[in-house]
């Protein structure tokens, strides 16, 4: 539950992730138009995880999810989530989730849950980066530039979203330079919310879709905001390692090892402020440049 003083965008997101239960294994979620052409992939990830978590009868926590985006989601229509209780074993449970709109599956996901237990532990170190307080927020897009952009892009760039982002190495997405395919971004929910770990995992699933695939465009000097660039998530994987809060600063360290055949692969590690690795991600997505023959060729990355 959010406090009464919470930002409307935060309480709206929490409400978005709180699905209506239609049957034991059937849920309905609404959509929010945040300036994207279709339903934001992170919304479907977060809602699907929320639905799966609601079917857990034992105290088990999600430790991984693997999802495929099959069709573009209609922002104007609700999404129905159908859960298959695939397995409830001695230590692990598995759920399969189908997201349905207009009678068609637009997304499906498998999520695995585990009861808490001990074991060996290690992790890679967090990159050495400035603290979020030492990084200035991104400046607003000048009005004369904003006026030249499509209405959807204007809405995306001008909205105050539920998450705050601080880029360690900012990039001008409207005039993107060619850069090596990696970035670090601090992010957090802009207001405090309740303590339920299930809520924070759903919030992280939502936020994990930001900036991930975009990293694969860096070597090519293109971005999602350019009208001749088509981008869409194809799949998404997320692993939860350690407890965290989505309303505390988290560092998203992302790299893209490959792009080819109009697809890009990106990987991410998410650390808390204490340097603990709390989650990992991977995503492949469509990156297509349309137009004349020259524009349709992605420039190869340089070593």
The 10s digit of each residue's pLDDT in 102-120 is: 999 999 999 999 999 999 9
Residue 273: predicted pLDDT: 96
- Please give the full DSSP string across 178-212, using - where no structure is assigned: P--SEEEEEEEESS-----HHHHHHHHHHHTTSST
Provide the residue count of the chain.
Answer: 303
Mean pLDDT of the chain: 90
Beta bridge partners of 270: 252, 279
Dist. CA 94–CA 58, nearest whole Å: 12
Residue 147: predicted pLDDT: 78
What b/e sequence results for 61-94 when a residue is b if at least 16 CB atoms lie within 10 Å of its CB, and e otherwise? ebbbbebebeeebebeeebbbbbeeeeeeeeebb
In whole angstroms, what separates CA 204 from the centre of its chain? 7
Q: What is the mean pLDDT of residues 113-131?
A: 95
Q: What one-character DSSP code corresponds to residue 158? A: H
SS3 of residue 9 by DSSP: helix
Residue 234: predicted pLDDT: 97
Q: What is the mean pLDDT of residues 109-136?
A: 95
**Percent of the chain at pLDDT above 90?**
77
* pLDDT at residue 299 tops 50: no
Q: Which domains does the chain have, with CATH numbers?
A: 8-115+137-289 (2.40.160.210)
Q: What is the mean pLDDT of residues 27-38?
A: 85
Q: What is the mean pLDDT of residues 224-251?
A: 95
Of the listed ranges 57-66, 118-127, 159-168, the one predicted with least confidence? 159-168
Beta bridge partners of 111: 65, 95
Global model pTM greater than 0.85:
yes
Dist. CA 38–CA 35, nearest whole Å: 9
Q: What is the mean pLDDT of residues 153-171?
A: 82
Tens of pLDDT, residues 70-111:
999 999 999 999 999 999 999 999 999 999 999 999 999 999
Residue 203, φ and ψ in degrees, nearest 5: -65, -40
Tens of pLDDT, residues 189-237:
999 999 999 999 999 999 999 999 999 999 999 998 888 899 999 999 9
Residue 270: predicted pLDDT: 98
Dist. CA 64–CA 43, nearest whole Å: 17
Catalytic residue IDs: 209, 233, 283
In whole angstroms, what separates CA 129 from the centre of its chain? 22
């Amino acid at each position: 539950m959010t406090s009464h003083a919470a930002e409307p965008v935060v309480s709206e997101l929490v409400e978005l992730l709180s699905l209506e239960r239609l049957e034991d294994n059937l849920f309905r979620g609404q959509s929010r138009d945040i300036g994207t052409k279709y339903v934001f992939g992170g919304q479907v990830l977060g809602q699907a995880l929320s639905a799966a978590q609601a079917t857990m009868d034992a105290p088990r926590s999600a430790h991984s999810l693997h999802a495929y985006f099959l069709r573009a989601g209609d922002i104007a229509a609700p999404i129905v989530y159908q859960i298959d209780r695939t397995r409830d074993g001695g230590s692990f449970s598995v759920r399969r989730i189908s997201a349905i709109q207009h009678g068609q599956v637009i997304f499906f996901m498998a999520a695995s849950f585990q009861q808490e237990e001990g074991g060996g532990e290690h992790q890679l170190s967090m990159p050495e980066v400035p603290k979020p307080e030492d990084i200035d927020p991104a400046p607003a897009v000048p009005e004369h530039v904003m006026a030249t952009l499509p209405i959807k892009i204007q809405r995306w760039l001008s909205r105050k979203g539920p998450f705050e982002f601080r880029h360690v190495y900012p990039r001008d997405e409207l005039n993107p330079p060619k850069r090596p395919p990696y970035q670090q971004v601090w992010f957090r929910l802009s207001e405090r919310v309740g303590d339920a770990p299930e809520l924070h995992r759903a919030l992280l699933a939502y936020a994990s879709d930001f900036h991930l695939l975009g990293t694969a465009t860096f070597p090519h000097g293109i971005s999602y905001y350019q009208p001749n660039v088509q981008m869409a998530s194809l799949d998404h994987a997320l692993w939860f390692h350690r407890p965290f809060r989505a309303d505390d600063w988290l560092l998203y360290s992302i790299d893209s090892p490959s792009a080819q055949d109009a697809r890009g692969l990106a990987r991410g590690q998410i650390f808390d402020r204490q340097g603990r690795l709390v989650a990992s991600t991977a995503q492949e997505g469509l990156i297509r440049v349309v137009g004349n023959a020259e524009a349709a060729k992605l420039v190869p990355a340089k070593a």
